[in-house]
């Protein structure tokens, strides 16, 4: 069986035959909507069966803030998420250009940026 490492993996637990994988919480709760929980996607290998699960880690309570700052913080977080998504898309296009030809990223930089900006 081929095993692929997932980026960001900090620990791997090998289970004995017949041992059941346990997680802290398997169902999302209200804390997930407020951003005070982190969702990790894990693969569980049991014999010849592989399944994908979500593990929710509680990050603790969020501090309260004033109404004006709450609106500003929400806008900034939304902007940061969009920037992160756009940068990820650009990096994928950059790698694709590099694989296609020599100095491909330099030749396609304008086209790649336009594609990222148009996508939104």
Please identify every stretch of the chain with a pLDDT value under 70, giving residue numbers as ranges: 1-12, 14-37, 120
Please tell me whether residues 72 and 114 are part of one structural domain: yes
Q: Which domain, by its residues, includes 72?
A: 63-120
Last residue of a domain, one of 39, 62, 85: 62
- Identify the pLDDT of residue 7: 67
Q: Same domain for 68 and 32?
A: no
Domain boundary among 62, 80, 110: 62
pLDDT of residue 119: 84
pLDDT for the residue numbered 3: 58
Q: Which of 12, 31, 62 is the last residue of a domain?
A: 62
Q: What is the pLDDT of residue 21?
A: 61
Res 66: pLDDT: 87
Q: According to the model, what pLDDT value does residue 51 have?
A: 81
Residues 45 and 73 in one domain: no
One domain, residues 103 and 48? no
pTM of the full structure:
0.48
CB burial readout 51-70, b (16+ within 10 A) else e: eeeeebeeeeeeeeeeeeee
Sorted by sequence, the CB contacts under 8 Å of residue 117 that are 6+ apart come out as 86
Q: How far apart are the first and last CA of the chain?
A: 39
pLDDT of residue 22: 59
pLDDT of res. 25 = 44
pLDDT tens for each residue of 68-102: 898 999 999 999 999 999 999 999 999 999 998 88
């Amino acid at each position: 069986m081929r095993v692929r490492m997932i980026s960001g993996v900090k620990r791997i637990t090998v289970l004995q035959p017949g041992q059941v994988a346990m997680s802290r919480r398997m169902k999302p709760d209200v804390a997930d909507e407020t951003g005070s929980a982190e969702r990790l996607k894990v693969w569980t290998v049991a014999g010849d069966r592989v399944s994908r699960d979500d593990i929710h880690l509680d990050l603790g309570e969020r501090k309260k803030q004033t109404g004006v700052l709450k609106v500003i913080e929400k806008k900034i977080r939304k902007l940061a998420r969009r920037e992160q998504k756009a940068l990820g898309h650009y990096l994928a296009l950059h790698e694709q250009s590099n694989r296609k030809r020599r100095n491909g990223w330099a030749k396609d930089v304008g086209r790649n940026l336009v594609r990222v900006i148009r996508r939104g």
